[in-house]
Amino acid sequence: MGLQMLMNATLLGGLYALMGIGFSLQWGISGIINLSYGAMVMLGSYISLEFFNFFHIDPFISMIMSGAILFVIGAIIYRGLLQPFLKGGIVFTLILTFAVRLIVENIILKVWSADYRTIRLVYAGSNFQLGDVYIPLTKFLTFITAGILIYLTYLFMMNTKIGKGIQAVALDKEGAQAVGMDVEKMYMINFALGTALAGLTGSLWASIYSFSPHLLGPLVGKVFIIAILGGLGNIWGAAAGGLLLGFAETAGAGFLGSQWQEAIGMVIMVSVLLWRPYGLMGKKFFG
């Protein structure tokens, strides 16, 4: 793999890593496979689009708004729709999150149409060079930002009261209840954190790539793979999974042609499921 390809793969992987963590947290801790996750990412993109078009705010700044809005949306969805059905088994959470995806998809289609949208940043074309390798500025900034956000998420989980509470609930729900923790609040915040990460990813995505409702499905496919590769609920696992997917896609596109990209991802996922269903890092753990 050429150095340029490696650089491309890494830059892509960083963005995927951020994207995968939110989904992995939702699945690993609440047991909810959020089929509307792709829609949440796209909402983040569209929010940044609007902020850019109306207020000329750079997506790296408007991502804060995306994150905040999607956090609230996530909390509402969890409390209103999902919490009552957690005991209903997987059919209900799958079909409910799919219903959310349908509704959001329809909203996006009505407001922004199915056309691919972009955010044209002034500095979008510039790149800098490291030896023989070209690094596009926006992708570089995205990578750095993603890394910072991932680290912040980790710090949140490890050092704040709520973060530790979420971990506690994930490790032993009854034990957490026994010491008086508000378990439902923990689950809700975790879920909302997941959608917030989705929104942040969306804003970053918008700074580099074009976006449209067509991406709704494939994005969910990608985060499945990342979550499974990394082990559910495992932040650094998901980060590694994201990088791996970035590598696999870039290599696949480079050697086999881009039509096989999605198939490669799926094949990887199914293989991992068959051989190491707990993810490449083994059983679920934190840190």
Q: Residues in the site for another protein, rule: CB under 8 A?
A: 27, 31, 33, 81, 84-85, 88-92, 94-96, 98-103, 105-107, 109-110, 217, 221, 224-225, 228, 259-260, 262-263, 266-267, 269-270, 273-274, 277
Residue 177 CB, shortest distance to another protein, in Å, is: 23
Which of 284, 93, 73 shows the shortest CA–CA distance to 199? 73
Q: How far is CA 34 from CA 71, 96, 144, 147, 227, in A?
A: 14, 9, 27, 23, 12
Tell me how far apart the alpha carbons of residues 132 and 256 are, in angstroms, rounded to a whole number: 24
Closest CB to another protein among 50 and 262? 262
Closest CB to another protein among 91 and 179? 91
For residues 214 and 114, the answer to whether their CB atoms sit within 8 Å is yes
For residues 21 and 238, the answer to whether their CB atoms sit within 8 Å is yes
* Residue whose entry in the numeric block shows the structure tokens 């997941």: 194
Residue 99 CB, shortest distance to another protein, in Å, is: 4
For residues 25 and 78, the answer to whether their CB atoms sit within 8 Å is no
Residue 241 CB, shortest distance to another protein, in Å, is: 14
Closest CB to another protein among 114 and 158? 114
Residue 173 CB, shortest distance to another protein, in Å, is: 17
Residue 55 CB, shortest distance to another protein, in Å, is: 28
Closest CB to another protein among 162 and 266? 266
